[in-house]
Amino acid sequence: MSAKFEIYKDKTGEYRFRLKAGNGEVIATGEGYSSKQACENGIESVKKNAPSAEIIEV
């Protein structure tokens, strides 16, 4: 099973996403969005930008 993005509404009515690994573990969560379309745009941004992201220790 591959990783999946899930879109859901939180208690305040905002749309959020979580990325689940193949084993079902949540490995990333998104901020709150006012619309489903904005949430989907956030997912697309992660998909587009994550492969080139640097790892930085702080």
Which range of residues forms the domain containing residue 11? 4-48
Within-domain flag for 38: yes
The pLDDT assigned to 56 comes to: 87
Rounded-to-integer distance, Cα 40 and Cα 29, Å: 13
> Residue 29: which CATH number?
3.30.160.160
Q: How many domains does the chain have?
A: 1
* The model's pTM: 0.84
The pLDDT assigned to 40 comes to: 98
36-50, pLDDT tens digit by residue?
999 999 999 999 988
- The burial of 43, by beta-carbon neighbours within 10 Å (0-12 exposed, 13-18 middle, 19 or more buried), is given as middle
Within-domain flag for 28: yes
The pLDDT assigned to 55 comes to: 87
